[in-house]
Amino acid sequence: MEMLGNNQGQQDITVERRSNYIVLTFPEQIIFDSGQAHLKPTVSPVLAKVAVFIQSHTGLILEIQGHTDDRPIHNERYPSNWELSADRATQVAKALMNLGIAPTLISTKGFGEYHPLYPNDNELSRLKNRRVELQFSSYVKDTNS
């Protein structure tokens, strides 16, 4: 977890290698209140460290993925979990852009409840499925353009 240091409150954030990607996972309770997409103020220092990491490693691109559990949400702002997950990914992207990350290096995806890590059959599993993943990969410039 070199990119984040050893600060308090980050112990539930995970970093892992998946295929050709490095994935940083923020559990919902660290980054958002349940059913919301407003970033918690306490996540700002962590996102600042992520921004420094991106800026110091040229050639990285970032896909931000929002995920929910299978509990239905239906309100004026979020007719379904898809809108909530997409908005969460977008809010993280906006925060990183405000920290100086070029928008050309960032993409967002909302997966709703359709890519769970665990079966949505109990509260703990649902909690683990509500997350935002930052997927880092190397940027390969097309030399034919």
Contacts of 26 (CB under 8 A, 6+ apart): 13, 43, 46, 92, 131, 132, 133, 134
pLDDT at 29 over 90: yes
Four-residue CA torsion sign, 84, 89, 93, 96: positive
Contact between 108 and 89 under an 8 Å Cβ cutoff? The reply is yes
Alpha carbon distance 57, 123 (integer Å): 38
pLDDT at 3: 55
Alpha carbon distance 48, 95 (integer Å): 9
pLDDT at 74 over 60: yes
Alpha carbon distance 107, 118 (integer Å): 25
pLDDT band at 139 (very low <50, low <70, confident <90, very high): confident
Mean pLDDT of the chain: 91
Each residue of 92-108: pLDDT tens digit? 999 999 999 999 999 99
Q: Where are the domains of the chain?
A: 14-138
pLDDT at 133: 98
pLDDT at 6: 53
Class of domain 14-138 (CATH, top level) = alpha beta
Alpha carbon distance 46, 7 (integer Å): 9
